[in-house]
């Protein structure tokens, strides 16, 4: 009798631990559910194979955001620029994305038409119309009749929303300051002089943030906002504009503000604290889609968290409204996860 009792206890214990182990394995394999997924990327040569479209589609994004340099045209010839856009539009992978996903975005210098160009570019009006054609913006849209390609939209889910605020860092940007002291291309200008966004766009951005009741607010900038120590294009070439943006974020009380940027042919996360704001400001740089800075060795960035990824890459943001979290991922060829950052807001 005693032997049977011991055997029965042993069997029951075995079954219990087998069930528990199975449940642990099941829980380990269950992925967190996300309410909304947004993907983005930049630096896409239209005549070079893009190996990432098939990977982007695997994430079934609710929105794809172009971060700039969507084609490489570098021209004031609108016939050539139109042809370059048509080459991209005919790309099989991109066509598949457009068939299933809403698309928005901004431009940078190479699709704007002038390398490192700004307000001085004489063909910008024609270039703007071709850019809007590329995004399939209706001919009667107000965006067709105002200067610049900035815009905003809401991505809605059952239990929350994300506001996407797309900036234009080209059309109004005044002259950069050449670096005469070091070997850099540019250096910060005199504090208070010059602008990236221009007066009208600044007023528009203030209204967009002040009036937002979205759970998260994404600001899309073609150039980096936080990384300040490299010698290329960046917001800190106009340091007062960086301070103005931080002040605006604070005063607006907008929830979950983050920045997406491109341009650099590397991917990285930058993060800083804004005094009086309950969450950190993250600048998620994703670049590039068809080519990268293969010779990258090192670069200072006091705001960087984790590492620089100098590989083909696109960005994915997964929003959880209940937990107030965003999982930010850098993804590469083969959908490999290169790096991730989980941020709570």
Partners of 327 in beta bridges: 318, 342
219-247 exposure pattern, b = at least 16 Cβ within 10 A, e = fewer: bbbbbbbbbbebebbbbbbbebbbebbbe
How far is residue 10's CA from residue 276's CA, in Å, rounded to a whole number?
A: 60
Quote the distance between the C-alpha of residue 69 and its chain's center.
13
Does a cis peptide bond (omega within 30 degrees of 0) precede residue 342?
no
List the beta strands (DSSP E) in 158-311. Answer: 160-166, 177-178, 186-187, 216-220, 257-261, 267-272, 281-285, 304-309
- What is the reported pLDDT for 217? 98
Kindly report the number of other CB atoms within 10 A of residue 88's CB atom.
18
Q: How far is CA 240 from CA 94, 115, 321, in A?
A: 38, 24, 33
- What is the reported pLDDT for 180? 86
- What is the reported pLDDT for 183? 81
Quote the distance between the C-alpha of residue 146 and its chain's center.
24
Instruction: With CA atoms as reference, report the closest residue to 271 among 216, 336, 345.
Output: 345
Residue corresponding to tokens 């002291």: 181
324, 247 contact by CB (below 8 A): no
Residue 142 has what DSSP assignment? Answer: G
Residue corresponding to tokens 């797309």: 166
List the beta strands (DSSP E) in 72-126. Answer: 102-105
Domains of the chain: 36-344 (3.60.21.70)
What are the tokens at 165?
A: 């605020």
Map residue 315 onto helix, strand or coil. Answer: strand
Compute φ and ψ for 186, nearest 5 degrees: -135, 160
Angle (CA) 119-121-126 rounded to 5° is 110
What are the tokens at 190?
A: 């005199």
What are the tokens at 245?
A: 């943006």
The model's pTM: 0.91
- What is the reported pLDDT for 168? 99
What is the torsional sign of CA 227, 229, 232, 238? positive
How far is residue 51's CA from residue 230's CA, in Å, rounded to a whole number?
A: 28
- What is the reported pLDDT for 31? 55
How far is residue 127's CA from residue 139's CA, in Å, rounded to a whole number?
A: 15
- What is the reported pLDDT for 1? 43
307, 339 contact by CB (below 8 A): yes
Residues of the chain with pLDDT under 70: 1-31
How far is residue 118's CA from residue 70's CA, in Å, rounded to a whole number?
A: 17
Dump pLDDT digits (tens) for 140-171.
999 999 999 999 999 999 999 999 999 999 99
Kindly report the number of other CB atoms within 10 A of residue 99's CB atom.
8
Partners of 40 in beta bridges: 65, 315
């Amino acid at each position: 009798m005693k032997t049977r009792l011991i055997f029965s206890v042993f069997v029951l214990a075995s079954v219990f631990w087998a069930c528990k182990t199975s449940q642990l394995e099941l829980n380990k394999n269950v992925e967190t559910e996300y309410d909304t997924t947004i993907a983005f990327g930049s630096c896409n040569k239209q005549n070079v194979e893009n190996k990432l479209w098939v990977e982007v589609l695997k994430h079934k994004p609710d929105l794809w955001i172009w971060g700039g340099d969507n084609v490489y045209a570098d021209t004031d010839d609108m016939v050539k620029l139109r042809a370059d856009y048509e080459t991209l539009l005919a790309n099989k992978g991109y066509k598949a994305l457009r068939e299933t996903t809403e698309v928005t975005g901004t431009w940078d210098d190479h699709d704007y038409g002038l390398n490192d160009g700004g307000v001085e570019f004489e063909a910008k009006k024609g270039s703007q119309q071709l850019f809007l054609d590329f995004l399939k913006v209706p001919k009667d849209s107000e965006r067709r009749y105002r200067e610049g390609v900035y815009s905003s939209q809401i991505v809605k889910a059952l239990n929350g929303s994300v506001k996407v605020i797309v900036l234009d860092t080209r059309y109004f940007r005044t002259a950069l300051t050449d670096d005469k002291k070091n070997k850099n291309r540019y250096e910060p200008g005199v504090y208070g002089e010059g602008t990236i966004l221009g007066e009208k766009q600044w007023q528009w951005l203030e209204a967009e943030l002040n009036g937002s009741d979205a759970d998260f607010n994404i600001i899309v900038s073609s150039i980096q906002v936080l990384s300040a120590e490299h010698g290329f294009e960046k917001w800190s070439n106009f340091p007062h504009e960086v301070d103005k943006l931080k002040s605006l974020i604070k005063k607006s009380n907008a929830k979950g503000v983050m920045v997406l940027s491109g341009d650099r042919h590397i991917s990285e996360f930058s993060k800083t604290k804004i005094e009086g704001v309950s969450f950190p400001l993250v600048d998620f740089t994703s670049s590039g889609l068809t080519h990268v800075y293969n010779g990258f060795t090192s670069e200072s960035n006091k705001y960087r968290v984790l590492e620089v990824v100098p590989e083909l890459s696109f960005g994915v943001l997964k929003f959880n409204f209940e937990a107030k979290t965003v999982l930010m991922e850098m993804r590469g060829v083969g959908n490999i996860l290169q790096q991730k950052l989980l941020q709570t807001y």
